[in-house]
């Protein structure tokens, strides 16, 4: 039995093309695995970034208030936020009027304060909280009076 090798270049070409197909299939499988690993890595990085962001403390408020007792009937309304408050308006809700604490367009800077008196009387109880609004905060905010 004799094999005719007259078409040897065709056989070599066939073997080379089969080899190329096998190599390309393997490369395609590795590319898919690499793409999946890259996607998982990107997802993990995104989850890590979200977790890191969740652990950050919230930024301090622009305007926040605290009432501080000074002495006797004297108090300070202090802006403990990081921004300036303008257009301060006060409502004590049916309590005795406050002395020296009025609506003002004067800005109250960060850590700035407004001094006022709470004068008690038998007919009107001293307030236990002040309700404040200011420019940018139209919904009243309750601030406890110590």
The pLDDT of residue 4 is above 80: no
Angle at 17 between CA 12 and CA 23, to 5 degrees: 125
Kindly state the tokens that stand for 72: 């006797």
pLDDT mean over 26-55: 89
The pLDDT of residue 93 is above 80: no
Are 73 and 97 within 8 A, CB to CB?
no
> Which DSSP symbol is given to 34?
H
Task: Name the pTM for this structure.
Answer: 0.61
At 94, is the pLDDT very low, low, confident or very high (cuts 50, 70, 90)? low
The pLDDT of residue 11 is above 80: no
106-140: pLDDT as tens digits: 899 999 999 888 876 767 777 888 889 999 999 99
């Amino acid at each position: 039995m004799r094999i005719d090798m007259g078409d040897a270049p065709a056989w070599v070409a066939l073997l080379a093309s089969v080899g190329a197909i096998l190599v390309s299939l393997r490369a395609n499988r590795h590319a898919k695995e690499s793409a999946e690993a890259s996607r998982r890595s990107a997802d993990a990085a995104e989850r890590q970034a979200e977790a890191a962001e969740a652990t950050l403390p919230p930024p301090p408020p622009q305007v926040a208030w605290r009432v501080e007792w000074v002495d006797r009937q004297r108090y300070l309304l202090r802006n403990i936020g990081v921004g300036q408050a303008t257009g301060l308006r006060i409502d004590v809700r049916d309590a005795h009027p406050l002395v020296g604490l009025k609506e003002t367009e004067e800005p109250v800077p960060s850590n700035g304060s407004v001094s006022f008196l709470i004068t008690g009387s038998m007919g009107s109880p001293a307030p236990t909280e002040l309700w404040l609004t200011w420019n940018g905060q139209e919904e009243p905010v309750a601030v406890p009076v110590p």
